[in-house]
Amino acid sequence: MFGLGRSVSGGSKILREVARLQVLMGIFDKMAQHRHEQVAFCYDRVSGLRSIIAIHNTTLGPALGGTRMWPYRSEEEALDDVLRLSRGMTYKSGASGCNFGGGKAVIWGDPGRDKSELLFRALGTFVEAFDGRFITGTDVGTVADDFVWAKAVTRYLVALPEEHGGSGDSSLTTAFGVWHGIRACADEVFGKPSLRGLKVALQGVGKVGYRLCGYLLEEGAEVTVTDISKANLERTTKAYNVKVVEPDAIYDVECDIFSPNALGSIINDETIPRLRCRIVAGGANNQLAEDRHGDELHRRGILYAPDYVINAGGLIQVTEEFPVFSRERAMQRAAAIYDSLKRIFAISKRDGIPTYRAADVMVEERLKEVASGRVYVRRHGGTAGSIERS
Ligand code: NAD
């Protein structure tokens, strides 16, 4: 097969083989870097599907994570993204107390142009082949209706449209969890969880921010909002008694809590010096432009509620779809984000580290604990799978 040293063309074959092996080694190196368990490259000639499914860690349970569809510039970019995102899911699931691991799928394609029934059926066939080790749903570039196509061939889907058995819009559960998370922050900084009389600057009154605004006001907080959408602002000012500022002015609002519920990367070099708050806590994903901005908040004595912990309500909701969805249970578990954050704040103080790092430590401690439980099972005659995770 390798055709070692037979001819010039044999030589170029060798070079090609070496190059191929280098690519393979590169992938194993990348997997080893953050201990990914499995990466599957999925190709379907008929539909043109090119997808990568990455399973990062199944210590806590089957890998759960959405499917992102994106016109990546290269295979490598797609691979890097799926490795990064699947690892993020391990931490998000772990921090929210879900018995699920971390995984993710990416489809290399243009969501505006390349979607088809065949494409999602093909994806579903690959998901089904994991036999429950990987469960997926929507992410950037995909919507719940896409997965109705996949439903014909796989059982392992979450967040389908309600009429297809899904649990529906998750923003209510997310906002509920964020509200409880903010109460945990208030308890930590001001000595009591009540938000009465506290001033909140709320960026983004979309699906999550609007509902959150209601919870905050109900509890007696004073809320200043902003949004770039006139319609969403109007809906908010019609329903609630709030102050409104221009989008860029929200960072300068004198307040107790700055609550980002719109975009990512809004905690950065430009905005941190402008913040006039004691707490940053909101539903937006990827709030820190870089980790060092979490360090800087810590240095300035601003308590940061790690985004993937405080906004886990949506994830909690879809994990409650098994075996039959219970909204009550989902809301109870979203309320427990309060306790997760309090544990993280305790670790932050114990280890003298910023909260975004303490969140990772909390999950790593849980993974270790559960993994060592597996050791116990095996020593006593059980049949648990891979345990060498430390
Ligand atoms: P959404 O699109 O309904 O709302 C976002 C709002 O932010 C919109 O009203 C938009 O006009 C506004 N916005 C955008 N740019 C802005 C800017 N520069 N200044 C002020 N406002 C701006 O989305 P959503 O579902 O409410 O999600 C909000 C955030 O929470 C996102 O970061 C999302 O990834 C994250 N999140 C949402 C959920 C969920 O269940 N919906 C779960 C976890 C995380």
pLDDT in tens, 295-343: 999 999 999 999 999 999 999 999 999 888 999 999 999 999 999 999 9
13, 30, 104, 342: which one is catalytic?
104
Q: Is a pLDDT exceeding 80 seen at residue 380? A: no
pLDDT at 381 over 60: no
Taking alpha carbons only, the member of 150, 80, 73, 76 closest to residue 110 is 73
Neighbours of 304 (CB within 10 A): 26
Q: For the chain, give every domain's residue range.
A: 34-91+99-164, 171-360
163, pLDDT greater than 80: yes
Mutating to test ligand 1, I would choose from 179, 208, 287 the residue with most ligand atoms within 8 A of its C-beta, which is: 208
pLDDT digits (tens, 9 = 90+) for 230-255: 999 999 999 999 999 999 999 999 99
User: pLDDT class for 75, splitting at 50, 70, 90?
Assistant: very high
Q: What pLDDT was estimated at residue 374?
A: 56
Q: How far is CA 54 from CA 27, 146, 302, 368, 370, in A?
A: 11, 20, 35, 21, 21
Query: What's the CA dihedral at 96, 189, 208, 134 to 10 degrees?
Result: -10
* Mean pLDDT computed over 222-234: 98
* 139 Cα: distance to centroid of ligand 1 (angstroms): 14
Give the sign of the dihedral formed by CA 227, CA 229, CA 234, CA 239.
negative
Query: CATH assignment of 171-360?
Result: 3.40.50.720
What's the rounded mean pLDDT across residues 2-26? Answer: 56
Both structure tokens of 119 = 């494409």
pLDDT, position 358: 98
Same fold for the pair 34-91+99-164 and 171-360: yes
pLDDT band at 146 (very low <50, low <70, confident <90, very high): very high
According to the model, what pLDDT value does residue 322 have? 85
Residue 9 has pLDDT above 70, yes or no: no
- pLDDT at residue 375, as a whole number: 43
* Interval 366-383 mean pLDDT: 64
Percent over 70 (pLDDT), the chain: 90
The mean of the pLDDT values for the chain is: 91
- Tell me which of 68, 178, 228 to substitute to probe ligand 1's pocket, judged by most ligand atoms within 8 Å of the beta carbon: 228
Average pLDDT over residues 277-293: 96
What's this model's pTM, rounded to 2 decimal places? 0.87
Question: Region 196-214: what's the mean pLDDT?
Answer: 98
User: Are 278 and 189 within 8 A, CB to CB?
Assistant: yes
pLDDT of 6 above 90: no
Helix (H, G, I), strand (E, B) or coil at 259: strand
Predicted confidence (pLDDT) at residue 28 exceeds the cutoff of 70: yes
The tens digit of pLDDT for each residue in 180-200 reads 999 999 999 999 999 999 999
104 is catalytic: yes
Residue 171 CA to ligand 1 centre (angstroms): 10
At a CB cut-off of 8 Å and minimum separation 6, what does 356 contact? 288, 291, 294, 304, 306
Nearest CA to ligand 1 atom 20: 227
CATH class of segment(s) 34-91+99-164: alpha beta
- Distance CA(68)–CA(295), nearest Å, equals 30
